[in-house]
Structure formats: C-alpha cells, structure tokens
Amino acid sequence: MSGENGAPSEALLVLADGTVFEGEAIGAPSPDGVQTGEVVFNTVLSGYQEVITDPSYAGQVIAFTYPHIGNYGVNPDDHESRRPFCRGVVVRDLARRHSNWRATGDLDGLLRRHDIPGIAGVDTRRLTRHLRDLGAMPGAFGTADESTLARLAAEAPGTDGLDLAATVTCDEPYTAASTGGSRRIVAYDFGIKSTILHHLSGLGEVTVVPASTSADEVLALGPDGVFLSNGPGDPEPLTGVREQITALLGEVPVFGICLGHQLLAGTLGAETFKLPFGHHGGNHPVRNLATGAVEITSQNHNYCVAEGSLSSADLTHVNLNDHTVEGLASREVPAFSVQYHPEAGPGPHDSRYLFDRFEDLMAATGGKGRG
C-alpha cells in the first residue's frame, strides 16, 4: 500500500497491552485503516504461502519470525484452501522482487487479491520475544492513528469460545477422486488443507462434508473410514461436532489431526487448554512413543490436550520442546489422532506413515471400499 508519490504508507501495530511497533502498510488496504486479530508468530523458514492459506489461521494475524518473506513468489499450486482466512500478515522484510521458476505472482499481489492487509518493516524479533514472554494476544494494525489502534486492540476478542470452524468449512459436500486406493473416506471439513486431500485420495475416494454434517448423514455414505480435519480456534464450543463424533466411534475407524485430534480427545473424555503462544512452525520434534523415533513436524495450533485427562486412550506421541500431548489412540474403538500435520513435509516424510496406519485400521475393521 502506497501513500503520496508512491511512497509506502506508514503503519503501526499495537498489541492489546499497549505495546507499539512501527512499520509500513502492505497488501490490501484495511477498512478504515484498521485490522484486528489475535497476533501469533510462526517460525517457518519457507512455505509462507501454505501458512497464509491454511484455514487454521482464521481470526489470527500471522507474524513471521524469518526476516525475509516473499522471495520466491507465489503460485496457485501451493494454495492450501480456496482463499486465505487469516486476518493479516506481519513481516520484517517483504521481498520487492521474487525469483522462482514456479512463481506466477508476488506475495503482495496475493494479499491484495484476497483483501488481506499486512504490515512490513516491523521488528519481528522484538515482537516474537514479546509474544513468547507474555503469550499470544489481540492486536490492531493499520494506518489509523495510534490511539485508535490502541483502543481497538484492547477491545478485540481473542479466539477463546468462538466457533471459527463454522467460518471456514465448505458450504456443500464435494468429492476428491481416488488417485490409487479403493477406500471410501468421509472427511469432515473444519478447515481442511489441500495437501491432506492429496494424501487421503491416495487411499481412495474422499467425500468432504461440512462441519455441521450429522453422523447419520456420514454413515449413509457407507465410509470405510472418517477423517477429522485440522481447523482454527477453540475446540470447546464445538459441542455439536463432538456429539456426531460420539455417534461415529465404534461404527467406523476415525483418524483426526490438529483440531480433529482435539475434538476426538474431547469426545473420549479428555480436556483441552490454551497454550501460552501456541505451536506454529515447521521444526517441532515429536517422539513416537511406540518406536522411539523422533519426527520433525509441522504444527499450527493454540490449544492442546491435557495429558492427565486421557482416561480411555493411550498417549502415542509427545512434543519434545514442551512435553505436551501430540498423539493418542483409543483403547476401546478404532480411532487415533495426532496434534501435528503429517501431510506437511519438514522431515521431509517422517510422519506420512500415519496415512498408512489409517489404511491398516480400515482394512483391519473389514472395510471393503469400492474395489
């Protein structure tokens, strides 16, 4: 965004506690010069397009810790959803010129096309340290004056208690054709990513359904397995979804990731809590407790399953940074889940075995698929 004579427009980011960061406006103009959202930081070194288009960031402003963002441009193949759902983007240095043979445009252009405002030139190291010490918090940024931004930042809600999955889910069911398998899978869309569908379609035909779909409607499709997708925000208000999962458990194998993991855990009686600043990045080490292997994982969540509340499930994976719950398996029904994103590849293939595990579970419970 430019001011007079094409010069960048000065902008500010103000956090709910009154801390101010200076920068310049990028991306789409903010309505009335203001955008609000919960400010979180992400530590990936690459993959900024996949992060921005991940629906799990609904309601949040993404601050990238890596200082140079946008250098290899953007392209339609790397979109993880139909559009970005984040509230904004904060960077230190936005590349003014991109260079990559796959690029079809630049990051600033992508933000403008999808009405996503941003702010560049921010001291993201200082911002990250602040959020790390005090936790993720609401903020306001834009070209409005500091007092307006400070007031709106203090008034802005966080993500607690909001059903953000309802804002990103599909309106109608749709199908992803099989690319090799014979299974029939139903995937709940709480904010599902394109790469997840790519891996699931390797097992069979995938019918993606809205988050509000009933268990009866799912079972009427005759699935060999049900997948619970990633998604944004707090799992606590999704009581209706948990009721449907309860009805599915024992009827069909269930595999969940991220928000789907938290919802499955809640259905099994576990509790969740909000992490101070969440896990957002592509380098989180996770130990598989069955094999002892350490997986390098991609993560994006603010909420977590409380370990002591797993009464009817076994703990299967643990985050080695903070020892939080990263995976579980029910002892009573064919269902398992992980907190991280096995479809992403920072390892690069450390966690893809989980899709094979889903196939094995469907085979073991008698799924015949279409074959």
Three-state SS for 135? Answer: coil
pLDDT score at 254: 98
DSSP labels, 330-351:
ESSSSEEEESSBTTS-SSSSTT
Whether residue 38 lies in the annotated active site: no
- CB atoms closer than 10 angstroms to residue 226: 27
Residue tagged active-site, from 258, 295, 326, 359: 258
pLDDT score at 349: 86
pLDDT score at 7: 64
pLDDT score at 346: 77
User: What's the predicted TM-score (pTM) here?
Assistant: 0.94
For the chain, domains (ranges, CATH) are: 4-155 (3.50.30.20), 165-364 (3.40.50.880)
Tell which residue, 20, 74, 102, 57, has the closest CA to residue 278: 57
Residue tagged active-site, from 80, 205, 326, 343: 343
3-state helix, strand, coil in the chain (%, to 5): 25, 30, 40
CA distances, 328 to each of 122, 204, 220, 324, 325 (Å): 39, 24, 27, 12, 8
Whether residue 343 lies in the annotated active site: yes
Residue tagged active-site, from 79, 261, 301, 341: 341
Alpha-helical (H) ranges within 144-257 are 146-155, 165-168, 194-201, 215-220, 239-248
pLDDT score at 325: 98
Whether residue 341 lies in the annotated active site: yes
pLDDT score at 367: 57
pLDDT score at 91: 98
Please identify every stretch of the chain with a pLDDT value under 70, giving residue numbers as ranges: 1-7, 367-371
Alpha-helical (H) ranges within 36-155 are 48-52, 107-113, 124-134, 146-155
Beta-carbon contacts of 370 under 8 Å, excluding residues fewer than 6 positions away, are 178, 182, 183, 184, 204, 205
pLDDT score at 369: 40
